[in-house]
Amino acid sequence: MSKLLWQGLLAPLTEPAPLADAEATAALRALGRELGAATRRRLGRSLAIRELDAGSCNGCELEINALSNAFYDLERFGLRFVASPRHADVLLVTGPVTLNMREAMERTWRAMPAPKFVVAAGDCAVGCGLFTASPVCVGAAEKVLPVDLRIPGCPPDPTGLLRGLLSLIEANQ
């Protein structure tokens, strides 16, 4: 047991931060200007994220979960996952939004206090992916909610997710 504790102290696994996605930062900056200084002051370098699976295959969830492991250590950037939408600044949506999840998605977003962002993560949430022709899916997240940032990939890897989320923070500075 004590060896396990020492191991963590002596050889940290955590890796340097990837660079923020510059293109996304620029686009978000434009958005940030619209939101104004008050928003930036309120959110600062800290964003609380509510993850929402709107019908994904769970591949995206696996990689979003990986953000919390020792290699990526999401919380060092001021990003953290919260349980309640009432505490959230960011709704991180995955999946091709099934008809069965649409209402839950809308209600989760409505429960979040403004200012708030919507991030579509993964090819399904970005553009409906392989499920475009499905009669039981609404489609990309933007068909239901205003999307501020898109992180493609099937699934996006943790570095890609981090780059996208860091660009949200950068844009708020």
Partner 1 sequence: MTEGVLTALTGAAHTARWPRVAVVAATWEELGDLLAAGTVDLVSLWAEESVVHAALREGTATAILSVNATQGRFPSLGRHHPPALRLERAIQDLTGLVADGIPDGRPWLDHGRWAGGTGTSYEFLPVEGEGLHQIPVGPVHAGIIEPGHFRFTAHGETVVRLEQRLGYTHKGTAGLMRGADVSHAARLAGRVSGDATVAYAFAFALAAEQCAGIAAPARAQWLRILMAELERLANHLGDIGAICNDAAFAILLAHFGALRERVLRASSAAFGHRLMMDAIIPGGVARDIAPDGVAAIEALLATLHHQLPRLVRTYDETNSLQDRTVSTGIVRAAWARQFAAGGFIGRAAGRDFDARRCGAYGGYDELAFDVPVLEAGDVNARVWVRIRELEQSMTLIAQVLQRLRAAPWQPPIPLPAREGEGVALVESFRGDVFLWLRLSPDGRVAACHFRDPSWFQWPLLEAAIENNIVADFPLCNKSFNCAYSGHDG
Footprint of partner 1 on this chain (CB under 8 A)?
1, 3-5, 7-8, 13, 51-66, 68-71, 81, 83-85, 95-96, 98-104, 108, 130-131, 133-137, 154-155, 157
Please identify which residue in the block is written with the tokens 């429960």. Answer: 111
Between 98 and 167, name the residue whose CB sits nearer to partner 1.
Answer: 98
Between 32 and 156, name the residue whose CB sits nearer to partner 1.
Answer: 156
Please identify which residue in the block is written with the tokens 């104004």. Answer: 36
Between 22 and 99, name the residue whose CB sits nearer to partner 1.
Answer: 99
Closest approach of partner 1 to the CB of residue 153, in Å: 10
Closest approach of partner 1 to the CB of residue 37, in Å: 32
Closest approach of partner 1 to the CB of residue 129, in Å: 8
Helical (H) or strand (E) element with 30: helix 22-35
Question: Alpha carbon of 129 to those of 2, 4, 24, 42: distances in Å?
Answer: 47, 42, 21, 35
Q: How many residues does the chain have?
A: 173
Instruction: Decide if 40 contacts 173 (C-beta within 8 A).
Output: yes
Please identify which residue in the block is written with the tokens 């939004």. Answer: 97
